[in-house]
Amino acid sequence: MNLIQRPRRLRISSGIRDLVRETELSPRDLVYPIFVVPGVHIKEEIPSMPRCFHYSVDQAALLAREIAERGIPAVEVFGLPEYKDEIGSSAWDMTSPVQRAIAAIKEAVPELIVIGDVCLCQYTSHGHCGELHDRYVDNDATLPHLVQTAVSQARAGADIVAPSDMMDGRVAAIRSGLDAEGFVNTSIMSYAVKYASGYYGPFRDAADSVPSFGDRRQYQMDPANVREALKEAALDMDEGADIIMVKPALAYLDVVRQVYEATDRPISVYNVSAEYSMVKAAAANGWIDEQRIVLETLTSMKRAGAKIIISYHAMDAAAWLNV
């Protein structure tokens, strides 16, 4: 046959495939999320998230060194507090595990970027992401609490704060609050496009943040909507977001691509807990090649437009990529 075009020529060897590869995944693309808890010398596996752990602050600082050694540039810190109340005041308590872990990690590994999750669901006695008035999450009453939380994390040493609450106007409020306290160089990575997803189940186990009633559909987005995602991203950019996140990642790669094409800000995605745990379960049963599936999945997220990938697979992925 006289074929002029033979695309297989560029797939004929590993060297040629490497030469023409369009998307390269690197440990530098990854962020590792960790969960910190009260106490000392604690490292306890989370039942629904194999090989993910609750860490006390001292253990988190040790882990930070390993994260940096694998070439991962950043960690996102979530926490379980020593106490909960109606407004989630432990979220901005400087003696809470998150604030103490941020400070300890920055002391142990100053070059590691530390991201603080800004939300109230782990800290409120009712498990919702804001202050309640008659079983309704009061948007405007919640904003000052989010500002206090973000400022406390910046004061502890966070390089980036990441509001994940989905309250309207919170990026502008946090930017104003940070600037007023002198934290003009603390970046905001906004969970701008956060869906009310079934993929969060294991995380809520890990963070002890299941709502005591109802769900979060009054403030998180409808999974059926994409134009709304573009609106949310545009609003957060106008309010001063430095990085725009789409969460979850895997079932929303079409949204990631559209947000990427609509904005000039770096895009982050969250490869969330159920996405992780499903892979772990299938791998444990011998149904899949875990390494191949994980690297293919993370590459798809970068190919869709993500510059930053937050993933519980990050430690394993970095080890595989560094071989």
Q: What is the pLDDT of residues 122-167, one digit of tens each?
A: 999 888 888 888 888 899 999 999 999 999 999 999 999 999 999 9
Please determine, for residue 207, whether its predicted confidence score (pLDDT) is greater than 70.
Answer: no
pLDDT in tens, 268-290: 999 999 999 999 999 999 999 99
What integer pLDDT is reported at residue 192 of this predicted model? 97
Bigger pLDDT: 210 vs 309: 309
* Residue 213 predicted with pLDDT over 70: no
Provide the whole-model pTM.
0.95
Residue 233 has pLDDT above 70, yes or no: yes
The mean pLDDT value for 97-113 works out to: 98
Structure tokens at 181: 């306290």
Q: Which domains does the chain have, with CATH numbers?
A: 24-244 (3.20.20.70)
Q: Residue 214 has what pLDDT?
A: 62
267-302 core/surface letters (b: 16 or more CB in 10 A; e: else) = bbbbbbbbbbbebbeebeeeeeebeebbbebbbbbb
> Percent of the chain scored above 70 by pLDDT?
99
Instruction: Tell me what the mean pLDDT of segment 235-250 comes to.
Output: 98
pLDDT at 319 over 90: yes
Written in H, E and C, the secondary structure of the chain is: CCCCCCHHHHHCCHHHHHHHCCCCCCHHHEEEEEEEECCCCCEEEECCEEEEEEEEHHHHHHHHHHHHHCCCCEEEEEECCCCCECCCHHHHCCCCHHHHHHHHHHHHCCCCEEEEEECCCCCECCCCCCCEECCEECHHHHHHHHHHHHHHHHHHCCCEEEECCCCCCHHHHHHHHHHHCCCCCCEEEEEEEEECCHHHHHHHHHHCCCCCCCCCCCCCECCCCCHHHHHHHHHHHHHCCCEEEEECCHHHHHHHHHHHHHCCCCEEEEECHHHHHHHHHHHHCCCCCHHHHHHHHHHHHHHHCCCEEEECCHHHHHHHHCC
Whole-number mean pLDDT of the chain? 95
The residues annotated as belonging to the active site are: 194, 247
**The predicted structure's pLDDT at residue 250:** 96
Positive or negative torsion for Cα 206, 204, 88, 180:
positive
pLDDT of residue 129: 86
Are 113 and 75 spatial neighbours (Cβ–Cβ below 8 Å)? yes
Tell me the pLDDT band of 115, cut-offs 50, 70 and 90: very high
